Structure formats: structure tokens, C-alpha cells
């Protein structure tokens, strides 16, 4: 056997279909940022669209253009922009752009392009990642309405997911921002009404009142729960990713396999177990390129670092708990030097 990461596309599509059913009648935007959370952006984007996702979310314009070069024509949304972002290429490729400030709006408008830029204006409702402040919001909306080089295609925000109480407050702030936009002249109905979106995985599942026109599902679709009190399995989600290593040395009661911190094995995994030749083995040392566990096994034996959990291996949620992090980080850190193998049964 060789080291590899297997991606179960059937499991992923099942997750997308289940989440889309939860969100309905709101549409589903599937986040494929961070190379599809380590699963491979283009294969996972194709699978998401085939399972009923209406649109895709990426982090930046470069990723959006990669989606377009792959021949995918579904709506694509990019929201984090640097000083060198090629907005003209994005506009020409029909990429929707998240806009958080007047400076960004002007940069997009000045970029030119073959059509008016489709912009989603963002109000900051407490996450403080980006977005216009309540004080700056009226000016941003007014400027977008007055500039025929842009089209207000959406109004959106992020929830901090700090607590149900905090999210309820943020939802109220978002509704207030929508009311301001309507009062300034943004259509509240009809074909020119912008798409309204707020919820990601957590609120998309637990806050029906936050779903609006679409839900941006991310980590839940990749088989890791966004909640502390419910696992992905309890939500009906199956992790698509399984990470396999190969034993390269076994002596003195210890076994070493060929994946380490550089491949995404969290150093804090000490004390947890992996499966070596189907048997649990406690993690003793996580080096840069290798990991050593207790017990002996034949060279070439298969190691399962994490997977769906069917065979007694850790799930990504359990690995994240050991590593004192979240499932998003464990998946996204899976090294691209490990070959991906796509299963579709």
C-alpha cells in the first residue's frame, strides 16, 4: 500500500444533498475555499454542483478564476481581496465580488470590464473579519447605487457563531442594515432585488430565521460538525476524507510511518491512536516527516490516521479535539504532497 488521501465523493454528495434539504427553500452555496478544505477544489466543486449546490464560494479571485478555467459555469463568489487583485479579470469571468468598503467598491468600479461588476455589499455584524461598519454602511450602499459600473447582486454578512444569544443580536443588526439599504433605494422585491445571505454551516442548520435566500455551507459538508454538542454523524454527515500512511520502520517495540507534521499530522496528537494494520497504536512522536507509534508492525503495513470512524480510526472531529483545534484546520492542513485518490461508488 502507498500513502494517500482517499476522498469519498459519494459521501460528500450525500452531505451536500442533506444540507440542501435542511436549507430549502433557501439555495445552497458550497464553500470550496482552502482547496476545498484539503479535498481538492475542482473535483469537490464538481461534486457539489452535481449534488444540487447552486453556487460556489471561494476565498479570492485567483481561486475563482481557477474554477472558471476548469469549465465550471455556476455562480462563483469571492470576498477577500488584496492590493494586487485583478478585478477586471474577475468581472470578465462573471465572478461575484464581496465588497466591504468604499475603497474596494471604487477599485472594482475603476477596473473596467465587459459588464457591470456584480457586487455583494457586506455589513459587519460583529465578527470583525471585514465588512462595513454600521456608520459606513449607508455611504457604501449609496455609492453602489449611484455607480452604473457596478450592480448590487447581494447583501451579506458573517455570523461570529459565538453563542445563540450573540447570533440573535447579529441577526437583528443584519436586518437593520437591510432596512437601511431598502430605504436608500435597493429593491426589496422583483428581479433586481439582491440576494441576501448570512448563515454558514452552524446557522444554516440551527437558525432557520438566518437562512434568507441562500446558505453558505462549509465545514458541515466535509463531515465535521460546526457544533460542540453534536457530532457530524449525529447530523447525518459522513466524513469524505481518509488519510492513509505506510509503515517504513519497526523496531524496539515502536513503529514509524511516513507522514508527519509537514503532511498535516497535528503535533498535539500525542496520546491519541492511529490504526496500524487494523490495530490501534498510540502516537508517541510526531516529527516533521514521520510519526512513531507504540507496537510493532511489518514494513509496508497500512496506517489509517483518520477517516469516517467505521474501523475504529479517529474521525477528523476527534483529531481536532486532541489537537485543540477545529476540524476545518485539520482538513485544510492535509498536505498536497500526499496523492489524492477519488472514490465514486
- For 162, which DSSP code? S
Quote the CA–CA distance of 88 and 94 in Å, as a whole number.
Answer: 10
Q: Which of the four pLDDT bands, split at 50, 70 and 90, describes residue 1? A: low
Q: Where are the alpha helices (DSSP H) in the chain?
A: 9-23, 33-37, 41-50, 61-69, 87-92, 102-110, 137-146, 164-184, 201-206, 316-322, 327-332
Where are the domains positioned within the chain?
9-222, 241-343
Quote the CA–CA distance of 225 and 239 in Å, as a whole number.
Answer: 10
What share of the chain has pLDDT > 90, as a percent?
A: 92
Over residues 267-302, the pLDDT tens digits come to 988 889 999 999 999 999 999 999 999 999 999 999
Which class is domain 241-343? mainly beta
Long-range CB contacts (within 8 A, 24+) of 230-238: 231/315, 231/317, 232/315, 232/317, 233/309, 233/315, 235/205, 236/18, 237/15, 237/18, 237/19, 238/8, 238/11, 238/14, 238/15, 238/308
CATH architecture of 9-222: Alpha-Beta Barrel (3.20)
Q: What is the pLDDT of residue 319?
A: 95
Mean local confidence (pLDDT), 231-257: 96
Q: What is the pLDDT of residue 216?
A: 98
Over residues 195-241, the pLDDT tens digits come to 999 999 999 999 999 999 999 999 999 999 999 889 999 999 999 99
The set of catalytic residues is: 33, 244
What share of the chain has pLDDT > 70, as a percent?
A: 99
Residues 258, 290 contacting (CB under 8 angstroms): yes
Amino acid at each position: 500500500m502507498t500513502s494517500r488521501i482517499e476522498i469519498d465523493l459519494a459521501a460528500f454528495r450525500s452531505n451536500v444533498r442533506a444540507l440542501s434539504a435542511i436549507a430549502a427553500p433557501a439555495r445552497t452555496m458550497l464553500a470550496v475555499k482552502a482547496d476545498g478544505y484539503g479535498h481538492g477544489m475542482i473535483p469537490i466543486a464538481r461534486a457539489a454542483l452535481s449534488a444540487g449546490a447552486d453556487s460556489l464560494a471561494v476565498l479570492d479571485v485567483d481561486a475563482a478564476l481557477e474554477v472558471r478555467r476548469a469549465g465550471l459555469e455556476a455562480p462563483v463568489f469571492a470576498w477577500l481581496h488584496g492590493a494586487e487583485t485583478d478585478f477586471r479579470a474577475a468581472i470578465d469571468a462573471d465572478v461575484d465580488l464581496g465588497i466591504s468598503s468604499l475603497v474596494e467598491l471604487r477599485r472594482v468600479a475603476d477596473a473596467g470590464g465587459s459588464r457591470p461588476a456584480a457586487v455583494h455589499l457586506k455589513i459587519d455584524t460583529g465578527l470583525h473579519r471585514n465588512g462595513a461598519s454600521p456608520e459606513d454602511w449607508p455611504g457604501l450602499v449609496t455609492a453602489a447605487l449611484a455607480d452604473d459600473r457596478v450592480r448590487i447582486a447581494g447583501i451579506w454578512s458573517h455570523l461570529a457563531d459565538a453563542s445563540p444569544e450573540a447570533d440573535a443580536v447579529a441577526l437583528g443588526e443584519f436586518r437593520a442594515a437591510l432596512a437601511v439599504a431598502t430605504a436608500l433605494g435597493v429593491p426589496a422585491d422583483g428581479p433586481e432585488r439582491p440576494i441576501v445571505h448570512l448563515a454558514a454551516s452552524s446557522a444554516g442548520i440551527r437558525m432557520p430565521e438566518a437562512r434568507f435566500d441562500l446558505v453558505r455551507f462549509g465545514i458541515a459538508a466535509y463531515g465535521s460538525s460546526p457544533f460542540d454538542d453534536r457530532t457530524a454523524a449525529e447530523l447525518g454527515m459522513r466524513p469524505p476524507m481518509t488519510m492513509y500512511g505506510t509503515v517504513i520502520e519497526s523496531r524496539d517495540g515502536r513503529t514509524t510511518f511516513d507522514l508527519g507534521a509537514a503532511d498535516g499530522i497535528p503535533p498535539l496528537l500525542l496520546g491519541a491512536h492511529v490504526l496500524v494494520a487494523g490495530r490501534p497504536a498510540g502516537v508517541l512522536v510526531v516529527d516533521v516527516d514521520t510519526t512513531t507509534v507504540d507496537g510493532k508492525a511489518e514494513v509496508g503495513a497500512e496506517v489509517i490516521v483518520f477517516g469516517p470512524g467505521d474501523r475504529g480510526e479517529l474521525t477528523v472531529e476527534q483529531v481536532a479535539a486532541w489537537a485543540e483545534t477545529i476540524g476545518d484546520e485539520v482538513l485544510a492542513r492535509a498536505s498536497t504532497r500526499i496523492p489524492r485518490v477519488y472514490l465514486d461508488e
